[in-house]
Chain A
Amino acid sequence: MGILKYTNILALCGLVFILSANVNARPISWPGGNTYMYKSDSTKTSKNYHYSPSYKYSIGVEFVNDKYFKDEYMNFRGTYLLDRRNTKKSQRNFYITGAFSGKSSNNYFYGVHGDWETRRFFSSISYINKYTKLKNYTEKELQLGVAPYLGEYGDIHTWVMMKAKRNTINDDWETYPFIKLFTGDYMLEIGNKNSHWDLHFMARF
């Protein structure tokens, strides 16, 4: 338990890092790049802006409307690329990520995210610890995807994806399909889960 607490403090002090479930879509842009993200699902709606001074990290702010706890707050967020392996046909990344709220010192999160992708296949996992005034909980997520066709540079690219996620509030895995489209500097993810739409839009500039 002591080790866990020590790890938590280290993670908080050492990082000012980002995010939650949408880290799969390149949480860090090119050096000097700006990113705007809008994400909405059954639990929250968030608007996020971040800036990437280098390909290693990004810092930004997120405005959150928490539907589950009926709360609104702003997060200062960051992501750091811990390790990347480039090969000719694939890329693998490990990120650490976290945020703290401007509203309360009891509101913050941190976690890890990993992904591996080729032009045809995509996989990612994330593990996020969240702390709020009302409840502390953990979110786990697994994504698998396949590109039905291999687009060239500048084309519209499509991924057919499956997402499985679980948080310790509901203590149950939810699995549902979604589709990811991107072209140029824009990306759109749409999924449906129990008649709730998941929407994720991203623009980089």
Chain B
Amino acid sequence: MNKILLLTLILISQISHAEKNHDSHSNEESHDMSEGNHDMSKDKKIDGSKYKLNTKRYMDFIEGLTEVQIAIVDVKGMVCDFCARGITKTFYKDAAVVKVDVDLETGKIFIAYSKSKKIDFEDIKEKITKNGQTATTMQIKKL
């Protein structure tokens, strides 16, 4: 049984290492959209180059929302509902946040801000980092 434990540990490290390498490639391919408050509504790809947006979930999210801007943030490490709970609680503390949702399947967070809010990706990244996950890219859509 000791051998099984050891093998499991090795397996975990190997998988983790492999995913790290895979992730590095993904990051090279993706575009960081944190430079400003872009209107991405005309973009063909809502989410950079690698991970697709779950359109149905996004449409459900924006239903009933008007006069807001939506930050779509890619997050690494958000593998379970429990992990993501802290993220939504943190963003709801911001008075400018109207609504938050998490798409576990694509690893994205949708944050609806009031239109007057100047969205700062560094601030979003910091909030997510403090919850133990990693934000990689962000895109903004205005409604």
Provide the residues of chain B in CB contact with A92, threshold 8 Å: 12, 15-16
Looking at chain B's contact residues, the main secondary structure is: helix
A-B contact count (CB 8 A): 122
CA gap between A36 and B70 in the complex, in Å:
34
**Closest Cβ neighbor of B6 among chain A residues:** A125
Please give, as numbers and ranges, the residues of chain B lying within 8 Å of A164 by CB-CB distance. Answer: 1, 4
Residue in chain B with minimal CB distance to A152: B104
* Distance between Cα atoms of A183 and B82 in the complex (Å): 8
A87–B19 touching, CB < 8 Å: yes
Q: A151 contacts the other chain (Cβ, under 8 Å)?
A: yes
A25 vs B85: C-alpha distance when bound (angstroms): 14
Q: Mark A76-117, 1 if CB is under 8 A from B, else 0.
A: 000001001111111110000000000000000000001111
Instruction: Answer yes or no: A54 CB below 8 A from chain B CBs.
Output: yes
- Known A30-B89, A89-B19: A55·B77 in contact at CB below 8 Å: no
Residues of the B chain whose Cβ atoms lie less than 8 Å from the Cβ of A153:
81, 84, 101-104
Given the known inter-chain contacts A142-B8, A153-B81, please indicate yes or no for A87 contacting B131, CB distance below 8 A. no
User: By DSSP majority rule, is chain A's interface helix, strand, loop, or mixed?
Assistant: strand
Q: A33 at the A/B interface (Cβ < 8 Å)? A: yes
In the complex, which of the residues A86, A140, A154, A157 contacts B133, with contact meaning CB atoms closer than 8 Å?
A: A86
Tell me if B79 is interfacial: C-beta within 8 Å of chain A: yes
Nearest A residue to B107 via CB reads A88
Question: Are A29 and B16 in touch, CB under 8 angstroms?
Answer: no
CA distance A150 to B85 in the complex (A): 17
Nearest CB of A to B49, in Å? 13
> A140 and B81: CB pair below 8 A?
no
- Rounded to whole angstroms, the CA-CA distance of A152 and B90 in the bound complex is 20
The minimal Cβ–Cβ distance linking A45 to chain B, given in whole angstroms, is 24
Q: Which residue of B lies closest to A85 (CB)?
A: B16
Chain A residues near B22 (CB, 8 Å)?
A: 87
**Is there an interface contact between A55 and B23, defined as CB atoms closer than 8 Å?**
no
- Taking CB atoms, residues of chain A closer than 8 Å to B80 are 117, 119, 157
| Of listed B2, B4, B79, B89, residue having the most chain A CB within 10 A | B79
Q: Is the CB of B9 within 8 A of A114?
A: yes
Q: Is the CB of B16 within 8 A of A116?
A: yes
Instruction: Find the residue from A85, A114, A142, A151 having the highest chain B CB count within 10 A.
Output: A85
Does residue B5 face the partner (Cβ distance < 8 Å to A)?
Answer: yes
- How distant is the Cα of A88 from the Cα of B131 in the complex, in angstroms? 16
**Which residues of chain A are within 8 angstroms of B12 by Cβ–Cβ distance?**
92, 114-116, 123, 125
